[in-house]
């Protein structure tokens, strides 16, 4: 049987020989350290809501994640993994660990917008992880869609799924799972199948994961892949009797404007049908009269907005409608592809 290993820049590194790697390429150094049995690794949170935090994750937690994921994905010896996320993020790191633990080939490509472009028309890849931004780019190109349709499973994570993207996913051949997790849980602790005959309405936790709500309605996680017990998140959630759950917002995205408390994530979900082809977010800016005012930020060159303002007010009461519309030609994004709201606003403020 041919040796399995990692492909990088047209070079092949068999798993059996990577233990002896002496170079300075970080992805190969990580694989060497893993194969040598290192126990702890440092990774960083995404930084989408603030400064990225250094987090120490341990081998037993990563192995628990790999084992629980295998029960869902059912990898076989013929699977091949395409890695098109930054290997230093938790999503990229765990793709590497799965490949090593499952004894599969993994091909490392640059974390570009459309990872299908460099692939051959007929390719061997069956498993990959994407962020929604990458999938949006793939879906713009029929040739890229044809390449994606050769995969068996796609893990989609790092951000929410809008209505337009969900509808497009229904036409794809591979099973697409929306993932829920974070660096502190060694990637996902729950999956939601988005398409196919067994598609799901909500996230379902992996085996061994237990969930409950804190007093402030945020999700508490007990899981073998988490860095500690009763891991408290900032995600506001609703849990059902079968332990399935849905995320309804974030605690740190609650805005108080004119004495009215508003959950920005809920309003973004309400407004999302208006923006099938535009990235957007809601943000709170300081305001002398209201304390904070909600603004709508669009990734676009400026355009006339009276019709848009009318539609926004039809969807929400006037006090929950954006008080201004901001145009940013290009959003800042984190290494994991999430919209970096804080730095996008900072960049906009410097030029306005």
Give the residue carrying structure tokens 């081998």. Answer: 59
pLDDT per residue as tens, the chain (352 positions):
789 999 999 899 999 999 999 999 999 999 999 999 999 999 988 665 556 789 999 999 999 999 999 999 999 999 999 999 999 999 999 999 999 999 999 999 998 779 999 999 999 999 999 988 899 999 999 999 999 999 999 999 988 888 889 999 999 999 999 999 999 999 999 999 999 999 999 999 999 999 999 999 999 999 999 998 899 999 999 999 999 999 988 888 888 888 888 889 999 999 999 998 899 999 999 888 788 899 999 999 999 999 999 999 999 988 899 999 999 999 998 877 788 999 999 999 888 7
- Alpha-carbon span 255 to 258, nearest angstrom: 10
Domain 258-350 homologous superfamily, CATH: ANL, C-terminal domain (3.30.300.30)
What does the pLDDT read at residue 158?
85
- Alpha-carbon span 87 to 289, nearest angstrom: 46
The domain ranges of the chain are 5-205, 258-350
Residues 6+ apart with CB under 8 A from 231: 184, 185, 220, 221, 222, 223
Instruction: Tell me the pairing of strands 204-205 and 187-193.
Output: antiparallel
Q: Examine domains 5-205 and 258-350 and report if their fold is the same.
A: no
Please give the full DSSP string across 175-224, using - where no structure is assigned: EEEEEEEEGGGTEEEEEEE-SSTT--SSBEEPTT-EEEE-TTSEEEEE-T
What does the pLDDT read at residue 335?
75
Residues 6+ apart with CB under 8 A from 166: 194
Residue pair 326/295 in contact by the 8 Å Cβ criterion: yes
What does the pLDDT read at residue 48?
55
Residue pair 213/246 in contact by the 8 Å Cβ criterion: no
What does the pLDDT read at residue 11?
96
Give the residue carrying structure tokens 């004495």. Answer: 259
CATH class belonging to 5-205:
alpha beta
- Alpha-carbon span 223 to 283, nearest angstrom: 33
pTM of the model as a whole: 0.85
3-state SS, residue 77: coil
What does the pLDDT read at residue 49?
53
Sign of the CA dihedral running 310, 159, 347, 264:
positive
């Amino acid at each position: 049987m041919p040796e399995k290993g990692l492909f990088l820049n047209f070079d092949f590194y068999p798993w059996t020989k990577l233990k002896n790697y002496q170079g300075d390429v970080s992805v190969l150094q990580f694989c060497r350290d893993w194969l040598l049995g290192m126990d702890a690794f440092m990774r960083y949170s995404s930084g989408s809501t603030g400064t990225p935090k250094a987090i120490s994750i341990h081998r037993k937690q990563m192995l628990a994640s790999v084992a629980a994921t295998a029960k869902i994905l059912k990898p076989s010896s013929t699977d091949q993994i395409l890695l098109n996320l930054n290997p230093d993020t938790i999503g990229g790191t765990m793709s590497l660990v799965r490949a090593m633990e499952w004894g599969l080939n993994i091909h490392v490509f640059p974390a570009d917008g459309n990872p299908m472009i460099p692939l051959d028309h007929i390719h061997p890849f069956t498993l990959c992880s994407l962020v929604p931004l990458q999938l949006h780019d793939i879906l713009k190109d029929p040739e890229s869609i044809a390449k994606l349709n050769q995969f068996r499973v796609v893990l989609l994570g790092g951000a929410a799924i809008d209505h337009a993207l969900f509808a497009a996913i229904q036409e794809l051949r591979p099973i697409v799972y929306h993932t829920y997790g974070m660096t502190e849980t060694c990637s996902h602790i729950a999956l939601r199948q988005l398409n196919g005959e067994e598609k799901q309405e909500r996230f379902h936790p992996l085996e061994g994961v237990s969930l409950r709500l804190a007093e402030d309605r945020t999700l508490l996680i007990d899981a073998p892949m988490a860095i500690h017990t009763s891991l408290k998140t900032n995600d506001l959630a609703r849990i059902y009797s079968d332990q399935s759950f849905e995320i309804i917002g974030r605690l740190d995205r609650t805005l108080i404007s004119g004495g009215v408390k508003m959950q920005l994530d809920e309003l973004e979900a309400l407004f999302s049908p208006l923006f099938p082809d535009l990235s957007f977010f809601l943000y709170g800016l300081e305001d002398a009269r209201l304390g904070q005012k909600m603004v709508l930020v669009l990734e676009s060159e400026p355009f006339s907005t009276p019709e848009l303002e009318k539609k926004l007010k039809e969807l929400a009461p006037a006090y929950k409608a954006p008080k201004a519309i901001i145009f940013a030609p290009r959003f800042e994004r984190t290494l994991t592809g999430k919209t970096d709201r804080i730095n996008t606003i900072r960049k906009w403020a410097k030029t306005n």
